[in-house]
Amino acid sequence: GWREAVAAAAGALQAGGLVAVPTDTVYGVACLAQDSGAVRSVYGLKGRNGGKPLAICLGDVDSLYRYCHVNVPDELLRDLLPGPVTLVLKRSEGLNKDLNPFTSLVGVRIPNHPFIRELARACSGPLALTSANISCQASTLTVSEFQDLWPQLSLIIDGGPIGDVQSPECRLGSTVVDLSVSGKFTIIRPG
């Protein structure tokens, strides 16, 4: 059941593993953001250039203040989150220095999907989250679409198909909004 799946995924993450999880947009691969070895494993898995940042995923808006400097009203955060958006904010000292060391910013997701939020809460810290695909390939909406990654994953949580598998729009991922500068916002990537 649900509780067992959350416990199994949390155990795999706490052991330094990578776990595939459904989100509100596409399938993701998560690891503990505070575990530098696991963060390196995500880059290896994706064949990803180390200069491309990973987002963090949190269970609730309250925990966002621990890892980010927030300069927008709390009501705005609660209007946008949980939801299919990544908010780019200034990172705080509380975040692992090995996660995106080349930037003072961090993308934050609180997906509108109960499983991944429950998982983040169970891990008592941020998850590093990226789409479950090789860099530059299409985002995935079913677990079979990323089966080439399976051997490198500790656990795969199959939440069924996400959205309309036939629709290219469903593969866009989250909308990325930069809120790091007071009084301004920039849409970096429409989703």
Give residues with Cβ within 8 angstroms of 112, minimum separation 6: 24, 82, 83, 84
Q: What is the CATH number of the domain that holds 105?
A: 3.90.870.10
Amino acid at 116: I
Do the Cβ atoms of 84 and 111 come closer than 8 Å? yes
pLDDT digits (tens, 9 = 90+) for 113-160: 999 999 999 999 999 999 999 888 888 999 999 999 999 999 999 999
Residue 51, Cβ neighbours under 10 Å: how many? 8
Cα torsion angle, 89, 91, 96, 97, sign: positive
Kindly report the backbone phi and psi dihedral angles of residue 104, in degrees, each rounded to the nearest multiple of 5, phi listed first: -90, 5
3-state secondary structure of 89: strand
CA distance 90 to 84: 20
Number of Cβ atoms within 10 Å of the Cβ of 79: 9
Q: Are 158 and 143 in contact (CB under 8 A)?
A: yes
126 cis-preceded (ω within 30 degrees of 0): no
Q: Residue 48 has what pLDDT?
A: 65
Query: Are 111 and 117 within 8 A, CB to CB?
Result: yes
- Low-confidence spans in the chain with pLDDT less than 50: none
Return all residues near 163 (Cβ < 8 A) that are at least 6 apart: 25, 141, 170
**What is the rounded radius of gyration, in angstroms, for the C-alpha atoms of the chain?**
15
Question: Does the pTM of the predicted model rise above 0.75?
Answer: yes
Domain count along the chain? 1
Token pair listed for 126: 């941020």
Residue ranges making up the domain that contains 35: 2-189
